Amino acid sequence: MIDPSDLIRRASELAEHADHEEDPRTHQRLLRMARYYAEIAEREKWVAAHPTSIASVSELCVKK
């Protein structure tokens, strides 16, 4: 699992770098990367808050 705070920090760095980028394509690419890092951080936070147990995974395999 990746620490969400590291991902948020990296997203912030990428967005800041994009603000100083003159090439529009590079600017947009850096902003997309920053959004992607932020999305991953949100997913990691959710996973940490909702841990998967063996029992919950087993329920998926049992036919009802």
pTM of the predicted model as reported, rounded to 2 decimal places: 0.76
Sole residue written with tokens 């705070």: 5
Residues 41, 38, 32, 14: is their CA dihedral positive or negative?
negative
Q: Which residue has the higher pLDDT, 33 or 1?
A: 33
The per-residue pLDDT for range 2-54, each reduced to its tens digit, is 899 999 999 999 999 999 999 999 999 999 999 999 999 999 999 888 887 77
**Type of residue numbered 56:** S
The DSSP code for 6 is H
Distance CA(39)–CA(35), nearest Å, equals 6
pLDDT band at 1 (very low <50, low <70, confident <90, very high): confident
